[in-house]
A and B are shown apart, each in its own frame.
Chain A
Amino acid sequence: DTEVTQTPKHLVMGMTNKKSLKCEQHMGHRAMYWYKQKAKKPPELMFVYSYEKLSINESVPSRFSPECPNSSLLNLHLHALQPEDSALYLCASSPVVSGSQPQHFGDGTRLSIL
């Protein structure tokens, strides 16, 4: 059982829709991450939150808007996405932002843009 829970598991949306992805962890971790994974490619970092503050934005287009309302919850708000944004979106957490601790991943949300 994964300790990082992502909802929904699947999402299909049109290019004009607004939707949100949700990620929750109850391990007391203070670092949370969003990754994007295209088919047959490795996960690529999008955003890093440290103590509920955005610390890294990997030049992600503004149609992706992250939010960290509290230490357990991470959202990714989606608006006016493009077909090339179809991918698996993974959330991860770690105790703190550190270069020597593993990140724990959720099972992801598979997003399809029509």
Chain B
Amino acid sequence: DQQVKQNSPSLSVQEGRISILNCDYTNSMFDYFLWYKKYPAEGPTFLISISSIKDKNEDGRFTVFLNKSAKHLSLHIVPSQPGDSAVYFCAAYHNTDKLIFGTGTRLQVFP
């Protein structure tokens, strides 16, 4: 049972445009969400997080939005750069200690 879902396996965006990556979850007990970026042959790198008491968190080019009623979060990257090309995982904490990952979205930013 996949509790964190990323329904788009891939996304292609032109450099300079906005990239929007989406994530849905099923467990209403999740209260802290994270986004990780993963390059080939490297481990996941933490990008940005959001607590369930907020609906938006911003860090430079990266903004995460949370819609609790819809059990949906999204990551916006503006402007997108070729170096952003990677696999992006959303994740949520379950019971404070277990991080549950989504299936990932491969982002490709082309010139």
Interface string of A85-108 (1 = CB under 8 A from B): 000001010000111101111111
Q: Interface extent on B, as a size class?
A: 20 to 34
Contacts of A56 in B (CB 8 A): 97-98
Q: Are B43 and A4 in contact (CB under 8 A)?
A: yes
Taking the closest CB of chain A, its distance from the CB of B52, in whole angstroms, is 10
Counting CB contacts under 8 A, is A42 at the interface?
yes
> Contacts A45-B99, A97-B97 given: A103-B89 contact, CB under 8 Å?
no
- Of B41, B43, B46, B104, which one neighbours A102 at CB under 8 angstroms? B46
- Tell whether, in the assembled complex, residue B104 and residue A42 are in contact, meaning their CB atoms are under 8 Å apart: yes
Set A2, A48, A99: member contacting B42, Cβ < 8 A: A2
Q: A2 CA to B41 CA in the complex, in Å?
A: 12
> Smallest Cβ distance from B94 to chain A, in angstroms?
8
